[in-house]
Amino acid sequence: MKTKKIEQVLTPPAPHMVGDGFRVHNFIPYGKGMSMERMSPFIMMDYNSKFYFSPTDELRGVGVHPHRGFETVTIAYKGKVAHHDSSGNSGVIGEGDVQWMTAASGILHKEYHEEQFSKEGGDFQMVQLWVNLPAKDKMTKPKYQGIINSEINKHKLPNGDGIIEVIAGEYNGTPGTATTFTPVNLFNAKLNKGATATFNFPANHNSALLVIEGSISVNDSENVPADNFLLFANEGEEFTIKASEDSIVLILSGEPINEPIVAHGPFVMNTQEEIIQAFDDVNMGRFGYLE
């Protein structure tokens, strides 16, 4: 098994606000080499690194907005976020939970800090990924997977080294909890200090990791501290991480969707004509209704 080559390690870019509730670093797309195509099927990653929000009676977040052509995956590490959409889905996720929303043919959506969390304030830390859909699935019916942490399948590492939470895909025989349209592996590696874990993904799959907490070394060569993003080259299949301290690492890998990407704001389609149609459909009320 050939070792995966490390392409680059990215420090967090300057944060910006999404609405008034999400203070994020945008890792995908980012800089010269990190286009939507480079990390397909992952076409966007916003990382809300740990940030303290003061108590308020106002619900901070993002108001009603449309989506079409992809999925949003929100992984909660600290704090609580609530959401509603025009398909009638709603939910709250807290520490360790995942919200996997398939916008597909189109929905209206809003997301905001959960009411009690807003009133009490506290540390807030989340990742939101946009996962592209292939052309044949872009206009399928929207759906929602609200996955609480107890429902996420967990692979125990030997010697009490920690666990791998298998959100999607498969790790050493443990299947992921979420269903996906294309091959995607999405894990939380929760490792105790000194623990190691090895991962294997096809060489042509786009693979990366984000250190959520702690610090790690990768392939006994590259030290990666918290809040840094490591991109693997499309060479080799195997890599090993070792926790320099108690650590949480988000691992992502997926088969690229080799189709044109035309993105404009909240829409990700294959042609400019489809983008224009999406705007027309929103304006005509075809995405439903949401206050």
pLDDT-derived band at 30 (thresholds 50, 70, 90) equals confident
Nearest Cα to 239, choosing from 226, 252, 248?
252
Q: Which two tokens stand for residue 120?
A: 């009490």
Convert the pLDDT of each residue in 199-244 to its tens digit.
999 999 999 999 999 999 999 999 999 999 999 999 999 999 999 9
Query: Does this model's pTM top 0.85?
Result: yes
Phi-psi region of 61 (alpha: psi -120 to 50; beta: other; left: phi over 0): left
33 pLDDT above the threshold of 90: no
Convert the pLDDT of each residue in 154-185 to its tens digit.
999 999 999 999 999 999 999 999 999 999 99
32 pLDDT above the threshold of 90: no
Q: By mean pLDDT, which of 24-33, 47-56, 151-160 is the weakest?
A: 24-33
pLDDT-derived band at 31 (thresholds 50, 70, 90) equals low
Percentages of the chain per state (helix, strand, coil), in multiples of 5: 10, 50, 40
Convert the pLDDT of each residue in 79-105 to its tens digit.
999 999 999 999 999 999 999 999 999
Nearest Cα to 262, choosing from 53, 70, 9?
70
Q: What is the SS3 assignment for 165-218?
A: EEEECEECCEECCCCCCCCEEEEEEEECCCCEEEEECCCCCEEEEEEEECEEEE
Average pLDDT of every residue of the chain: 96
